[in-house]
């Protein structure tokens, strides 16, 4: 276990360095220049532009610029935003809270409804299976921005049950504000988990040890819990964990649709305004979240099946 964690930590560090370098280089060669955002527009003297370029090492080779940036990151200093003229950590912090609550809310909806509906579809009657499978197919085909538009039109504007914009103040108000965004974010992922759960449940239910337990008269609830669900949980957890990680990228569209001041909306704004340090910082956050989620999924395998030896690669 310890060896596995050390290996994954090393992989995390290597992934962060490689990804951060790729993002940094890609932004350096992107069309346009951050000079306009740094100097405040036209009418600036050449001396001012030269001083700004020297301050931000814009005339240095790309590898030197990356070294200056990554050395600051390792010290906990992501620099200042070109556009907002403030610390990037102070800029991202409040927005990261909004995005974090939204992603956790959507993940909860995905796992609860995805697994529950998948169980009903896999173990229920043929009618329920057809209804849930058809609904899952429709859910997979609906993009998050379409779901956001429909939810706003029906439940926010039409019925007035939920607010259209904003992220709320305290926890209860925030959950109320984020309900529609979480549903829009979770819809297609929930449908995917439903289909994976149904497939895994049906595969396990047809295995010999399950049929033997049923023939011996073991209670159906015990058969489902001990023999079907537990063995089917590994692919479900894998898909659920990867899906939850992918939600972070999906917040870009949902936050823009619902007017939320989260990391996704900030990423879009920073890209259009060529605020490169903010884009680089958010990219690092996305990579860290993805790698850590994979680590948690691998560790959770041990809880589901103690026979798995992760450190030995089995």
Do 119 and 7 belong to one domain? no
| Angle ∠(185,191,196) on CA atoms, nearest 5 | 130
> Tell me, what's the pLDDT at 129?
84
Work out the average pLDDT over 60-83. Answer: 79
Question: Residue 313: what pLDDT?
Answer: 47
CA distances from 70 to 33, 78, 142 (A): 20, 8, 39
CA atoms within 13 A on the CB side of 208: 0
pLDDT confidence of 270, banded at 50, 70, 90? Answer: confident
Residues 69 and 101 in one domain: no
How far is residue 92's CA from residue 181's CA, in Å, rounded to a whole number? Answer: 20
Sign (positive or negative) of CA dihedral 207, 221, 239, 287: negative
Is residue 81 included in any domain, yes or no?
A: no
Residue 144 confidence (pLDDT):
85
Residue-range definition of the domain harbouring residue 42? 2-74
Task: Indicate if 56 and 183 belong to the same structural domain.
Answer: no
Indicate the SS3 state at residue 15: helix
40 vs 103: CA distance, rounded Å: 35
Q: In terms of residues, how long is the chain?
A: 314
Taking residues 225-239, report their average pLDDT: 74
197 and 163, same domain (yes or no): yes
Q: What are phi and psi of 24, to 5 degrees?
A: -60, -50
Residues 22 and 131 in one domain: no
Residue 86 lies in a domain: no
Burial class of residue 252 in the structure, from the number of CB atoms within 10 Å of its CB (0-12 exposed, 13-18 middle, 19+ buried): buried
* Together in a domain, 154 and 232: yes
Closest of 89, 118, 90, 102 to residue 284, by C-alpha: 89
The number of folded domains in the chain is 2
> How many C-beta neighbours within 10 Å does residue 177 have?
23
Check whether residue 117 and residue 195 sit in a common domain: yes
Q: Which of 74, 104, 128 is the last residue of a domain?
A: 74
pLDDT at position 312 is 47
pLDDT band, very low/low/confident/very high, at 212 (cuts 50, 70, 90): confident
Q: Is the full-model pTM beyond 0.85?
A: no
Top-ranked range on mean pLDDT: pick from 2-16, 86-100, 175-189, 288-302:
175-189
pLDDT tens digits, 85-130: 788 888 888 888 888 888 889 989 988 898 889 888 888 778 888 9
Which of 43, 74, 105 represents a domain boundary (last residue)? Answer: 74
- 234 within some domain: yes
For position 59, what pLDDT does the model report?
66
């Amino acid at each position: 276990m310890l060896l596995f964690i050390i290996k994954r930590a090393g992989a995390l560090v290597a992934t962060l360095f490689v990804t951060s370098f790729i993002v940094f280089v890609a932004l350096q060669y992107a069309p346009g220049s951050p000079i306009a955002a740094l100097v405040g527009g036209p009418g600036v003297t050449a001396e001012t532009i030269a001083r700004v370029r020297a301050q931000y090492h814009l005339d240095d080779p790309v590898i030197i610029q990356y070294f200056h940036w990554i050395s600051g990151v390792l010290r906990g200093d992501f620099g200042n935003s070109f556009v907002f003229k403030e610390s990037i950590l102070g800029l991202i912090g409040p927005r990261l809270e909004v995005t974090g609550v939204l992603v956790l809310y959507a993940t909860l909806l995905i796992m609860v409804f995805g697994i529950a509906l998948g169980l009903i579809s896999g173990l229920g009657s043929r009618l329920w299976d057809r209804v849930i499978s058809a609904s899952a197919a429709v859910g997979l085909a609906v993009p998050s921005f379409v779901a956001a538009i429909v939810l706003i039109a029906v439940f926010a504007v039409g019925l007035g049950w939920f607010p259209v914009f904003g992220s709320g103040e305290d926890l209860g108000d925030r959950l109320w504000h984020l309900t529609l965004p979480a549903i829009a974010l979770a819809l297609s992922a929930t449908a995917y988990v439903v289909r994976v759960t149904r497939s895994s449940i049906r595969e396990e239910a047809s295995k010999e040890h399950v049929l033997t337990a049923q023939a011996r008269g073991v209670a159906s609830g015990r058969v489902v819990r001990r023999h079907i669900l537990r063995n089917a949980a590994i692919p479900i957890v894998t898909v659920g964990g990867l899906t939850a990680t992918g939600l972070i990228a999906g917040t870009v569209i949902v936050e823009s649709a619902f007017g939320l001041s989260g990391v996704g909306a900030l990423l879009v704004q920073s890209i259009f305004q060529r605020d490169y340090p903010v884009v680089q910082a958010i990219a690092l956050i996305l990579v860290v979240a993805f790698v850590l989620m994979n680590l948690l999924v691998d560790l959770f395998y041990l809880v589901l099946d103690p026979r798995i030896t992760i450190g030995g690669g089995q």
